[in-house]
Amino acid sequence: MKQQLTILATMICFVAFVFQSCGEGKRYHIEGTTEEGDTSGVMYIRLYKDTAIVAQAEVKNHRFVFEGEIIEPMLVSVTNGSGHGGWLVMLDADRMTLTPDSEFANGGRLNSELVHFLEQADSLDGLDDLRQQTQGYRELTKLYWARHHDDALGAYVASVSIYALGADFIDSLLQSAGERVKQNNIFRMVEKNVANAKRTAVGMPFTDITLRTTEGQTVKLSQYVGRGKYVIMDCWASWCPPCRRLIPKLKELYKKYQNCGLEIIGVATRDKISDTQTAALELQVPWTVLSDDGLSPTIRDIYGFEGIPYMVVFAPDGTIIARNPREEDIPTLIGIDK
């Protein structure tokens, strides 16, 4: 009888340990600090590339804490009320910290792998040899997809790699996706972008879309594309630093080649028309600036991309001749550097 009671007590302890471990394994804890002078009263956890709020926390003395439960790891951004900037976080059952001197969270196994991936990708961005850069992206993407083909990190890797490696390559990876990741919001976004990128691939005719001028007038892309000139469509946003840095380089191209049959149109996305208009004036943008603010589908939906800046180059007849080329390659690409 004593032996039976001992076995029963052991089993109860084991079951209690399992349930306790499972419960703890689903909880996350994030501590963060804001910059001095930041007047944000509330911080939010939002789904990546989404407006859905996962959690919110009050800021007290520049400090905030998020605690909660999570079923599956998810990629999120931690921002203030504006929704821009902040931190990129792979939210999992871990303890993590956020500090103003880094755009990434510190801690967490899956989150640390995210940071490592982005660091390696950044090092490839610095390569001058385009072939070496593309091969590096290919190997890095294959490596991380093999490890994470059934979780949110794998979905994110596929989403950012489509720009360097193309829709066909990413589509081939998606064929080996696990069942769990197929429910992930980023994975579904990648599937949609792959399909749209194939429909608007190099060699395909442009797809028309309704847009707005910065004065709010409704226009069509076909009013600017397929009318006898080469056209660069620069997709950007007022709050995007790389977008703003690209504009002076495009202005140099425009000044040099405008009389050789080159036009540029800017299409602001994820940006309020008023902010777009203000930024265009600040940057003294000399070409037509349009916006997809408040419209559906967006330019990102139709042309199958998420990250900005993003350029699409059209031939005089409207055929797509390049997707996201380097600005220094454009004169050769459209044959006006001779």
Rounded to 10°, the helix 167-174/185-199 angle is 140
Per-residue pLDDT, 170: 92
Residue 41 lies in a domain: yes
Residue 319 lies in a domain: yes
Residue 16 lies in a domain: no
Per-residue pLDDT, 107: 94
CATH number of the domain bearing residue 52? 2.60.40.10
* Neighbouring C-beta atoms of residue 165, cutoff 10 Å: 19
Per-residue pLDDT, 83: 65
Residue 205 lies in a domain: no
CA distance 284 to 287: 9
pTM over 0.85: no
Per-residue pLDDT, 203: 95
Q: Regarding beta strands 95-98 and 63-69, do their DSSP bridges make them parallel or antiparallel, or are they unpaired?
A: unpaired
3-state secondary structure 11-22: HHHHHHHHHHHH
Instruction: Show the domain range for 93.
Output: 24-103
286 and 219, same domain (yes or no): yes
93 and 182, same domain (yes or no): no
Per-residue pLDDT, 24: 46
99 and 127, same domain (yes or no): no
242 and 313, same domain (yes or no): yes
CA distance 155 to 213: 34
- Long-range pairs, 86-94, Cβ under 8 A, ≥24: 86/43, 87/32, 88/48, 88/114, 89/30, 89/45, 90/114, 90/152, 90/153, 90/156, 91/28, 91/30, 91/45, 91/54, 92/28, 93/24, 93/25, 93/26, 93/27, 93/28, 94/28, 94/29
Is the Cα torsion angle 294, 206, 262, 133 positive or negative in sign? positive
User: Of 199, 221, 243, which residue sits at a domain end?
Assistant: 199
Per-residue pLDDT, 131: 80
45 and 116, same domain (yes or no): no
User: Of 71, 103, 135, which residue sits at a domain end?
Assistant: 103
CATH number of the domain bearing residue 250? 3.40.30.10
127 and 95, same domain (yes or no): no
Return the structure tokens found at 21: 């471990």
Contact 207, 303 (CB under 8 A): yes
Residue-level pLDDT, tens digit, the chain, 338 residues: 444 434 434 433 433 333 333 444 489 999 999 887 777 789 999 998 777 899 999 999 889 999 999 888 999 999 987 766 689 999 999 999 999 989 899 999 999 999 999 999 989 887 877 788 889 999 999 999 999 999 999 999 999 888 778 888 999 999 999 999 999 989 998 999 899 989 999 999 999 999 999 999 999 999 999 999 999 999 999 999 989 999 999 999 999 999 888 999 999 998 999 999 999 999 999 999 999 999 999 999 899 887 889 999 999 999 999 998 888 888 888 776 65
Residue 6 lies in a domain: no
Per-residue pLDDT, 81: 76
99 and 182, same domain (yes or no): no
194 and 217, same domain (yes or no): no
Residue 4 lies in a domain: no
User: Of 148, 173, 199, which residue sits at a domain end?
Assistant: 199
236 and 135, same domain (yes or no): no
Contact 167, 202 (CB under 8 A): no
Number of domains in the chain: 3
Residue 17 lies in a domain: no
CA distance 155 to 149: 7
* Neighbouring C-beta atoms of residue 84, cutoff 10 Å: 14
